[in-house]
Amino acid sequence: MPIAGSKMSKPNSVSLKFLFSTSLTLVFLGSPLVAKNHQKLALTESFQALHQFEFAGFVNDDGAANRIVAAERLRSLSQEVPAAVCHLHNNIDVDEATEVLESSVAAFDFMADALLNGNEDIGIIGAEQKPKSIAEIEALIESWQPIRIAALAVLSNPLDADAAQIVYSSDDDMFEKTYSLLTHIEGEYSNPTEILQSDLMLLEVSGRMAALSQRLAFEACLVWSGAGNAEVVADLLKTMGNFEASRTALHEGMPALGILPPPNAEIAAKLEEISDHWDDVHDALTHVASGADIPVPEREILYHDLITKLHQIEELEELYQNYSKRIY
């Protein structure tokens, strides 16, 4: 996203966005799943029939869902890092921002390595085998290195404006690159012997929500700190709409697009937890977008609330991941 004083142009991010009408007819652009909408309709009917059966076992699991969740996690981390840097640089919720930034840098390294080389501790069995996916992962790791260095520099000296600007300016590019990697991983592992297409949609939408929660935190920080501009405000409002459309899709279901309602009580309860107090977060974000001067305590509460939502959504992703491994 454009930053005040930056000469960077906004990259084409159409593939990263939701288009949705007031009736919440949601279209996922740029997703490898879009080309399979007709198959999804048939899968939806057969998938609903499966809910009659409860089995304690799992499918023959080679870590397909775990790889997809790890790739989704990288997309979320691409937003967690700039959000934490922005808050730390502006001396807001310093302890939490420091903790988030330290853990996010380490997690990005860990998840990228797990996707490349495998990590049975998190259910990723064996190293990546497909040359194109290997190239995508290696290119992402290379792009990450200067951002990693800059993030660590802000940890050492939160007043380092040059390092903060490097991280800020990478936001859109890393969001797009992590999404590109995700589409390759989804395309590689989205076959019925490894994971149902309908389960894949649930993982994708919940993963998108996690990333958007931190994109909201970053965009809000840019706005109230004065580092953004009118386009950043517009981006903030759009991200709010995208987040809420995703939440509605998971909570109520969109069978026409292969997105089913909560498949069990545990997932339904977690979605209720995510929705709890969302109106307060929405109102706080709207206040930021209005251009009003935001007092420091409100900035800290908003960041903390969005971090809390992130953790809740990550727990939801784990529930969807586990659900995808049932016997069917």
In a domain, 27, yes or no: no
- Inside any domain, residue 137: yes
Other Cβ atoms closer than 10 A to 14: 9
Question: Does residue 22 lie in a domain region?
Answer: no
pLDDT digits 0-9 by tens, 6-43: 323 333 322 222 222 222 333 333 333 433 333 333 33
Give the C-alpha separation, 290 to 294, whole Å. Answer: 10
Q: What integer pLDDT is reported at residue 22 of this predicted model?
A: 26
Q: What is the largest CA-CA distance in the chain?
A: 58
pLDDT digits (tens, 9 = 90+) for 180-201: 999 888 888 776 555 678 888 8
Q: What is the pLDDT of residue 324?
A: 82
> Considering the domain boundaries, does residue 291 fall inside one?
yes
Amino acid found at 228? G
The answer to the question of residue 119 being in a domain is yes
Is 24 a domain residue?
A: no
The total number of structural domains in the chain stands at 1
Confidence class of residue 282 from pLDDT cuts 50, 70 and 90? very high
Distance of CA 121 to the CA centre of its chain: 22
pLDDT at 191: 66
Using 50, 70 and 90 to split pLDDT, how confident is the model at 238? very high
Residue, of 1 and 199, whose pLDDT is higher: 199
- The whole domain housing 297 covers 37-323
> Is the pLDDT higher at 9 or at 287?
287
Asked, for residue 246, whether it belongs to a domain, the answer is yes
* Global confidence as pTM: 0.80
pLDDT band at 321 (very low <50, low <70, confident <90, very high): confident
Tell me if 149 is assigned to some domain.
yes
Rounded Cα distance between 298 and 197, Å, is 41
- Token pair 């899968």 is at which residue? 43
Cα–Cα distance between 310 and 313 in angstroms, integer? 5
